[in-house]
Amino acid sequence: MEINVRLEEEKDYRRVEEITRAAFGYPDRVERGQIGCPYEHLMEPS
């Protein structure tokens, strides 16, 4: 398996949001896991 690491580009934004929503967007995630917030896909790096 080959893995390429690169900086996120503007063309990647939609797909990254979809992946983040799929990973963190299940119902009651915050309540059940007691961690995180439901808005990870809206966070911007600092």
Residue 35 counted as domain residue: yes
Stated length of the chain: 46
How many structural domains is the chain composed of? Answer: 1
Instruction: Write out the residue range of the structural domain in which residue 16 sits.
Output: 10-42
Residue 34 counted as domain residue: yes
Q: Are the C-beta atoms of residues 22 and 35 closer than 8 Å to each other?
A: no
Residue 15 counted as domain residue: yes
> How far is 30 from 40, CA to CA, in rounded Å?
11
Residue 5 counted as domain residue: no
Indicate the pTM of the whole model.
Answer: 0.50
Residue 28 counted as domain residue: yes
Say what the pLDDT of residue 9 is. 92
pLDDT tens digits, one per residue of 25-42: 666 766 666 665 656 656
